[in-house]
Amino acid sequence: MRDDTDLPFDLPAVGRKKVSAAFAGGWLSSDGGVLLLRGVERRLGLAKRLAKCLKDRRSPGSVTHPLEEMLRLRMFAIAAGYADANDCTALRNDPVFKMAVGHAPQSGEPLCSQPTLSRLENAPSKGEIARMMATMVNLFCQSFRHAPASIMLDIDDTFDAVHGGQQLSLFNTHYDERCFLPIHIYEAGSGKPVAVILRPGETPDGIEVRTVVKHVTRRIRGHWPRARICDATMPRALCVKSHRYRRKLVISTNKPG
């Protein structure tokens, strides 16, 4: 086997500083910011909370990567700009991602692979997904130090272009493209996310939106029974039936006491 040799020339100095080129940098990563996300995630306990919503159907004796660890890797990868699970084929050996998930950067075992993550993404039942979303609403409410007197929910569907034949993707004539059309809910005053519901690319009708609003407000009421809740916007998707429900909601939560 041939040994590597050093560069046979010197690089020009920059600002009287010597410039060197070497290939002995060890384990390197371009995603150092992920360690900041690790601190936030640990403070919130997000991966642990979401993992408790899922039933691990794998054989206990064959489990290498716990659900909490897998969720943590997937969240960090998406936040760092790696939207596809395929990216985790390389990230599973990245020293920064390994540290963020809880492994030693060099001696630690590789993180879970793309096929393992893909199975995780397709595993949750409808009930488990509902529990995960309820957990996110709980997290939103717990982010306030004191119960607010009122909050304003900003609700709208959001165009998400799809390139391929993913499940739930449909052709939407308004956008003239195949897409998902998830419903996003934010608290208008603080800008904090309340809930995001992934859904097909068809425009939601009033009944669907009314159902989503009902479940979200019921969860918020469990934390803040006296808070006044109203909507900041009226998206085009909200039809008459939904409007009637929203009007009833504002009136009922505007009572004194």
Model confidence pLDDT, tens digit, residues 68-98? 999 999 999 999 999 889 999 999 999 999 9
One domain for residues 84 and 160? no
One domain for residues 77 and 150? no
Which DSSP category does 207 fall into?
A: H
Identify whether 138 is part of a domain.
yes
Identify whether 215 is part of a domain.
yes
Per residue in 99-130, pLDDT (tens digit) is 999 999 888 899 999 999 999 999 999 999 99
Q: Is 88 exposed, middle or buried (0-12, 13-18, 19+ CB in 10 A)?
A: buried
pLDDT number for residue 2 = 57
Dihedral sign (CA 97, 102, 106, 108): negative
One domain for residues 169 and 90? no
- Pick 17 or 188 by higher pLDDT: 188
pLDDT number for residue 245 = 46
Residue 233 CB neighbour total at 10 angstroms: 12
pTM: 0.77
Is 80 exceeded by the pLDDT of residue 56?
A: yes
One domain for residues 117 and 130? no
Q: Last residue of some domain: 122, 144, 172? A: 122
pLDDT number for residue 241 = 42
Identify whether 5 is part of a domain.
no
Considering only 25-34, 100-109, 229-238, which range has the smallest mean pLDDT? 229-238
pLDDT band at 205, cuts 50/70/90? confident
pLDDT number for residue 163 = 84
Closest CA to 232 of 156, 154, 158: 154
Average pLDDT score over residue span 233-242: 44
Is 70 exceeded by the pLDDT of residue 21?
A: no
Identify whether 240 is part of a domain.
yes
Question: Residue 208 is inside which H or E element, if any?
Answer: helix 206-223
One domain for residues 116 and 133? no
One domain for residues 137 and 244? yes
Considering only 13-22, 29-38, 92-101, 136-145, which range has the smallest mean pLDDT? 13-22
Q: Last residue of some domain: 122, 154, 169? A: 122
One domain for residues 151 and 59? no
Determine the 3-state secondary structure of 1 from DSSP: coil
Q: Cα-Cα-Cα-Cα dihedral of 84, 87, 88, 90, to 10°?
A: 180
One domain for residues 40 and 91? yes
pLDDT number for residue 73 = 96
One domain for residues 156 and 211? yes
pLDDT band at 31, cuts 50/70/90? confident
Average pLDDT, the chain: 85
One domain for residues 114 and 151? no
Number of domains in the chain: 2
Identify whether 19 is part of a domain.
no
Q: Last residue of some domain: 79, 98, 122? A: 122
One domain for residues 80 and 166? no
184: which 2 tokens? 């996003």
Half-sphere exposure of 59 (CA within 13 A, CB side): 2
232 touches 188 (CB < 8 A): yes
Distance, in Å, from the CA atom of 152 to the CA atom of 129, rounded to the nearest integer, reads 25
pLDDT number for residue 234 = 47
pLDDT number for residue 5 = 57
Determine the 3-state secondary structure of 229 from DSSP: strand
Identify whether 2 is part of a domain.
no
CA angle (97, 101, 107) in 5-degree steps: 70
Domain that holds residue 106: 34-122
One domain for residues 107 and 162? no
Identify whether 194 is part of a domain.
yes
pLDDT number for residue 165 = 81
